[in-house]
Amino acid sequence: MRILVLSSLVICAIYIFGADGQARKSSLSMAERVQQLTEMTNSRAVLKFNGNKFRDYVKATPRNYSIIVMFTALAPHRQCVICKHAHDEFVIVANSFRYSQVYSNKLFFAIVDFDEGSDVFQQMRLNTAPVFIHFPPKGKPKALDTMDIQRIGFQAESISKWINERTDINIRVFRPPNYSGTLALVILFALVAAILYLRRNNLEFLYNKNMWATGALFFCFSMVSGQMWNHIRGPPFLHKGANGQIAYIHGSSQAQFVLETYIVMILNAAIVLGMILLTESGNTKRDPKKRKILAIAGLILITVFFSLILSVFRSKTQGYPYSFLFK
């Protein structure tokens, strides 16, 4: 009797779940899914999915399209510092594809926010954000279908290159115009012109070698530290991990943080200051004691800060064997 009851329950369960699966499978055919995704993409390049939409459009089979899903946590209380920057770069790639000549219904972009699809995070076994995953037309995502943002970053160009490797679709990134640099340049020229006009009767300061030397040094520090790279790529100020750990130096030589730029700039400035002190210590017109102090101070600055900048380079270039004072 007990076996008969158990068998009846198993048969009922199979019938119920089978009917439910059949209903889900037949609720949206592949052509209907593609049509709905295309219509939604026409109004918004990046689609927002919750748990149900993720199962309907991403996990449902069969599929004849690829879909790039960004798993993120954009809510302020989640304190994901880089999620907003990564989302902006992801939107740039999606818009570039939407308005490019290679646009088709073979590739779609979507995001799943943790507050709207926590069940999806559990299903995908994700405990961090942001994460970019490519879901291919056939089969399950492989290891290479998860973008390694720790190695290549999450800039729009890096995302586009990774998508090209996974889907053979080459997306040319078009960034929206940014007029802040042009405006700053116009203001700078206006200030310089105003200063020259107000001091038109006394322009001897233009022949000040120290002023020009200082300006040239600041320009070199900005270029060597990577300010132009920051202007082009727009990296985050720093990185805060899921466990609350803050990273000031990017672990890859292919990317950097804004704060890292300032650190490198200060280290280079300290080395240059040490070289200046060593040079000044060779001035025979100075007092011997001051020359000795300048020489020692310059030597300490060069030794310590060159060791620090070498340590930074060593941390970003895996396998670099040389170090000095600091590892």
User: Which domains occur in the chain, in start order?
Assistant: 2-167 (3.40.30.10), 208-316 (no CATH)
How far is the C-alpha of 19 from the C-alpha of 16, rounded, in Å? Answer: 5
Burial class of residue 165, CB neighbours in 10 A (0-12, 13-18, 19+): exposed
SS3 317: coil
Q: How many CB atoms sit inside 10 A of residue 68's CB?
A: 25
Spell out the per-residue pLDDT of the chain, length 327, in tens: 444 434 444 444 444 444 344 334 436 788 888 899 988 988 888 999 998 999 889 988 888 999 999 999 888 888 787 888 889 999 999 999 988 888 888 999 999 999 888 899 998 888 888 899 999 998 888 888 999 887 888 888 999 999 999 998 999 988 877 677 788 889 988 988 888 787 777 777 777 888 888 888 888 888 888 888 777 777 777 777 656 677 778 777 777 888 888 888 999 999 999 998 888 888 877 888 888 888 999 999 999 999 998 888 888 887 778 878 877
Task: Please name every residue paired with 131 in a beta bridge, in sequence order, or none if there are none.
Answer: 71
Beta strand residue intervals within 129-280, DSSP E: 131-135, 239-240, 246-247
- Indicate the DSSP class of residue 177: P
